[in-house]
Amino acid sequence: MGQKKTTSLYKKHLELKASIVDFAGYKMPIQYSSIFEETKTVRDSAGLFDVSHMGEIEVSGEQSAEFVNYLVTFDISKLKKFQAKYTVILNEKSGIIDDLVVYNLENKYLIVVNASNQEKDFEWFMKHKSGQVKVENAGKKYFQIALQGPLSEKIINGVTENDISDLKFYHAKEEKIANAHVLLSRTGYTGEDGFEIYGKSEEAEKIWDVIMEEGKQHNISPCGLGARDLLRLEMGYCLYGNDITTETTPLEANLSWVVSFDKESFIGKNILLKQKEKGVKRKLVGIQVPGKRIPRYGYNILQKGEKIGVITSGNFSPTLNSSIALGYVQSNYEKEGTNVEVEIRNKPVEGEIIRLPFWKNGSLKKKH
Amino acid sequence: MEIKIPKDLLYTEDHEWARKENGEIAEGITDFAQSELQDIVYIELPEAGQEVAQGDSIATIEAVKTVTDLYAAVSGKIVKVNRELEKNPELINKDPYDSGWIVKIKISDPAELDTLLMPAEYKKVIQEE
């Protein structure tokens, strides 16, 4: 293993006495106080996350729209300027290479990818590059901070040059915070209202500080990757490497909403179309396991003692006061309300298939 | 984050601590262990009165990162169990060496105390992890 990388906010994390872990080659804060307390803060007020480890790929040039549209499953020709979309890129067998967010910006597409996949993704983009297209691996240039929680709008309005209340979900705009130019995007991965802010790495600390300062009166707290993982699981959002991999397809992972089958072509379309016609053999589902025993990655899902699937993510949800998990089951068991058991340390524990998201009262839903 | 290793305690390689108190030990998990485990969700405690041998699994700790066993630091009889942890397992995260104690064991073989690690030795153990 080479030297671990740090983000431009690493010094801040140390000052805030974060617990640091290695994540995707970066030294990242897993928590500052407690994962459960930070999760609650995001559900109740607002939390600030350093997610600068995420990768950014920029695509520009005359034929960039056609090129990006050939790689991602969603039809991005439908995106207006400064609109964003969560989608995936597939290999030829329709396995998921990564899940990502595409921004249609002025003269370029900004594509935000998982930290662990940024090199792999960039190589994939380069391999398929053709025509008048420029591809840049821009991860080092940018910081990314996520402000998430029902009070995010109040906080962000206190630091931006202009009032941003009208900014719609999955839309972005150029803004100024603390005199620095940023891309302000109303996006997130927590189920709460919130913003993701992109800017030049050297301005990260300044922007982090003004948001923390403004957020004080709104009970803001810095939040680590532990809370981020729990928040996304409470929403049933997929984690790459666990719930989605090159061995799973978007149809199996309940991501058909990010696939535009009416688009003429994209990598992986043919096999995906066949799978759509034949029906999938397994499906990603949410499972609630009442109690505090945690179903973890790799644990078997059973029904009447027979194995019907496997857990891909699990945790205890303090919001629901219950253990929750995502896992793949044979598709004839996918129906909401189906009773299953999860084999936790050789003991079957009763659970039930739940319609996602687990957490249904997020501020995002109320707002949009 | 600074890991606390109190000077007046003994330790095991499995990240338990033991405090000598009149022929008994109080036992819990170390600050290093709780920070590695992340938030503790639930602990399955033993019953008082149970006889245990050094190294026996006596409790199960379910935490965000993983699930782990607590092993008896010495042989003897479990004389007290911290039932408060059933309601408030986060005491182990917040205060691992004091209100987060887990069991008290009446020592049956005081020589076993010599097999435990001194604070400086335990510090080496965690530096190697």
CB contact under 8 A, B39 and A35: yes
Same structural domain, A204 and A220: yes
pLDDT-derived band at A2, boundaries 50, 70, 90: low
B86 contact A CB<8A: no
A35 contact B CB<8A: yes
- DSSP secondary-structure letter at A358? S
pLDDT tens figures, A6-62: 999 999 999 999 999 999 999 999 999 999 999 999 999 999 999 999 999 999 999
Q: Give the pLDDT confidence score for residue B1 in this predicted structure.
A: 66
Q: A212: Cβ–Cβ under 8 A, 6 or more apart, which residues?
A: A48, A220, A222
In the predicted structure, residue A217 carries a pLDDT above the cut 90: yes
Same structural domain, A67 and A205: no
Q: Give the pLDDT confidence score for residue A366 in this predicted structure.
A: 58
Residues A295-309, mean pLDDT to the nearest whole number: 97
Residue A194 lies in a domain: yes
CB contacts under 8 A, B 2-21 vs A, are 2
All residues of chain B having their beta carbon less than 8 Å from the beta carbon of residue A20 are 1
Same structural domain, A154 and A221: yes
How many independent structural domains does chain A possess? 2
In the predicted structure, residue A283 carries a pLDDT above the cut 80: yes
Please say whether the dihedral angle defined by the alpha carbons of residues A159, A164, A167 and A173, taken in this order, is positive or negative: negative
CB contact under 8 A, A226 and B62: no
Same structural domain, A72 and A99: yes
- pTM greater than the 0.80 cutoff: yes
Do B46 and B81 form a contact (C-beta atoms < 8 A)?
yes
pLDDT-derived band at A1, boundaries 50, 70, 90: very low
Least confident of A2-6, A197-201, A314-318, B73-77: A2-6
The minimum CA-CA distance between A19 and chain B, rounded to whole Å, is 6
A304 contact B CB<8A: no
Same structural domain, A131 and A144: no
Q: Give the pLDDT confidence score for residue A147 in this predicted structure.
A: 98
Residue A293 lies in a domain: no
Residue spans of the domains in chain B: they are 10-108
All residues of chain B having their beta carbon less than 8 Å from the beta carbon of residue A16 are none
Same structural domain, A167 and A229: yes
Residue A26 lies in a domain: yes
pLDDT tens figures, B76-120: 999 999 999 999 999 999 999 999 999 999 999 999 999 999 999
Same structural domain, A98 and A211: no
The CATH number linked to A189 is: 3.30.1360.120
Q: In terms of residue numbers, what domain contains A20? A: 10-54+140-234
A293 contact B CB<8A: yes
B50 contact A CB<8A: no
Residue A227 lies in a domain: yes
Same structural domain, A62 and A50: no
Same structural domain, A199 and A59: no
pLDDT tens figures, A330-339: 999 999 999 9
CATH number of this structure's domain B10-108: 2.40.50.100
Residues B25-47, mean pLDDT to the nearest whole number: 97
Of A48, A79, A272, which Cα lies nearest the Cα of A147?
A48
A225-234 and A35-44 helices cross at what angle (nearest 10)?
60
B53 contact A CB<8A: no
Q: What are the distances in angstroms from CA B123 to CA A110, A128, B10, B12? A: 46, 52, 11, 11
CB contact under 8 A, B64 and A315: yes
| E strand residue ranges, A123-260 | 134-137, 142-148, 172-177, 180-185, 194-200, 220-223
pLDDT tens figures, A115-127: 999 999 999 999 9
Q: Say how far apart CA A224 and CA A218 lie, in whole Å.
A: 18
The single-letter code of the amino acid at A42 is V
The CATH number linked to A92 is: 3.30.70.1400
Residue A96 lies in a domain: yes
Residues B3-13, mean pLDDT to the nearest whole number: 97
CB contact under 8 A, A294 and B41: yes
